Structure formats: structure tokens, C-alpha cells
Amino acid sequence: MYQLIDGKELAKNIRQELKKENDKLKEKGINAKLAVILVGDDSASKVYIKNKSKACNDVGIEYEEILLDSNTTMEELLQVIENLNKRDDINGILLQSPIPNGLDIQKAFEKIDYRKDVDGFNPVNVGKLTIGQDGFIPCTPYGIIKMLESYNIPIEGKNAVVIGRSNIVGKPLSQCLLRKHATVTICHSRTKNIKDITKSADILISAVGKLNMVTSDMVKDGAVVIDVGMNRNENGKLAGDVDFENVKEKASYITPVPGGVGPMTIAMLMNNVIKATKLQNGIN
């Protein structure tokens, strides 16, 4: 029998706790504020940022959206970031990915003040995560670790297999799992005999963005299966990377899509905004 990991419920609880923390900041006259930059008109990004603004509203975090058209130059984008870096009323800055071709997202992430980098994508925070220093941890990996911990799923000494090596999920997640003393393997598009590797996973996480990427023959009995995928199935419905109906029969724990990792990502963004606000105001 598998147990469903309810990311939606968990995220709701986290947001409630964060609201209490934020209310305390407000009593001190501190108003946490997040700025979100969207360049171009990627339709998925629009949905994501709408959910982020809703979450801010829930937690009582102020929210400012900066919408730039797809012809924006790199200089203009860097200037927008620079202005936000300088503003005392802005505690967190998020540049929604992807941005239009021709713009260098890495350069833009580098420009975001690492103290306001609530996504954890600035190389300073990437480095801090790698060497185990306190910094901002990318929201999706952070949310996944929180999920595992909340369900008392042991990580230490376990074989964790991550499918996908993106800078946003796969790589930082591998670092997070390593920090929790898992034995971590990363699989990607050039990996040979992927099934042999995934079969050894106590914790299997897919962050590819491909429908039915993970089939039941790839999963060990009793594995914990975490699905980061956000795809549309043949009926136009939201679905993950995992063939849920078949894989669930083998899993001990499994996340649904929607209602799994997605809400946790946003909850951890709220967590990072509160953390940034506290740091910038000298509160521990």
C-alpha cells in the first residue's frame, strides 16, 4: 500500500506558519516584499507567477510584478534588476525562467543581489549550497526535502536517484540530498541503461518534463517516488513525469501531480522571502 504525499496540505500549513511570522514582522513595522520579473509572454510562466502572487497575498507579503516585453535588451534587464537591488522596500527578487532567447539568464541571476536572491540561483547561493553554508536554497529542491522530512522519510544512507540535471531542480536537489547524507546518482538524457540505475533507488525523483518518463518497471518495490514534472497529457490535463497509476502500486510514498511538489515550491518561496526580510533587518 502506498501513501500519497499531500503537498497541497503541507504547503497550506507552511504558509499558515509563515503568516504568523510575517505578522510579527509587521508588528515591528517591517513589510516583507517580493518583486517578480517576467520577460516576454510565456503562458506557463504567467500561471506560475499568478500562483506566486496569490501565495504572497495569503501570507501577507507585498508583491510587485515587473512585466517586460520580449524585445527587452540585456542592458535593460540588468538595469531593472539593479534598481530592485537598490530599493530598500524590496526584500526578494525573482526573475521568472525562461526568458526569451538571446538574453543570458545566468548573467541576470548573477546580477540579483545574493541577499535578495530568494530563488537561490545567484552563483553565491549555488556555491553556499555546495559547500554547506547557510544561503538561499532553490524552492523546488527545498520543498522536496521538506516533504520527505514532514513524512519522516529517512534520507541518510539511502540511494537517491535524480532524473534531470537542470540548474533549477536536478543539480541543487542533488546537493540538498547529499547534504542530508544520501548516496546520490544523477541520470540525464545521455545516461545509459537508466532503468538499471533507477531500480536501485530508495528515493526516486524525476525532474525531466516528459510524460510517462518513469514507468513501473523502472521502480523498486517500496521506493519513494517524487514527481517534479508538469506536463499536459493527451486530454490536456496536468500530469507529471511518472506513470502514476502503475507506479503507485510499487511505491511506498508517491507525490501526485497536481498537488504534490508544485504547491511546496511556492511555499518555500514564501519561506525564502521571509528569511530574506529577516536577514536584511538583522533578525535571526
- For residue 5, the one-letter residue type is I
| Binding range to ligand GUN, per CB under 6 A, among 67-75, 88-96, 147-155, 232-240 | 88-96
CB 98 to ligand GUN: min, Å:
7
Alpha carbon distance 117, 91 (integer Å): 9
Would you say 11 or 197 has its CB closer to ligand GUN?
Answer: 11
Site for ligand GUN in 136-165 (CB under 6 A): 139-140
Would you say 142 or 244 has its CB closer to ligand GUN?
Answer: 142
Strand partners, 204: 161, 225
CB 49 within 8 A of CB 38: yes
| Binding range to ligand GUN, per CB under 6 A, among 95-103, 158-166, 190-198, 207-215 | 95-103
Question: 96 catalytic, yes or no?
Answer: yes
Alpha carbon distance 25, 5 (integer Å): 31
Site for ligand GUN in 222-281 (CB under 6 A): 265
CB 174 to ligand GUN: min, Å:
16
What 3 state SS string does 62-118 have?
EEEEEEECCCCCHHHHHHHHHHHHHCCCCCEEEECCCCCCCCCHHHHHHHCCCCCCC
Residue from 72, 91, 97, 271 that binds ligand GUN (CB under 6 A)?
97
CB 121 within 8 A of CB 108: no
CB 95 to ligand GUN: min, Å:
6
Would you say 119 or 202 has its CB closer to ligand GUN?
Answer: 119
Question: 241 catalytic, yes or no?
Answer: no
CB 169 to ligand GUN: min, Å:
8
Q: How many residues does the chain have?
A: 284
Q: Of the residues 119, 227, 241, 243, which is catalytic? A: 119
Question: 133 catalytic, yes or no?
Answer: no
Q: Pairing relation of β-strands 231-232 and 238-239?
A: antiparallel
Q: Smallest Cα–Cα separation from 177: which of 156, 200, 153?
A: 156
Question: Which residues belong to the active site?
Answer: 52, 96, 119
Residues that bind ligand GUN (CB under 6 A): 94-97, 119, 139-140, 168, 265
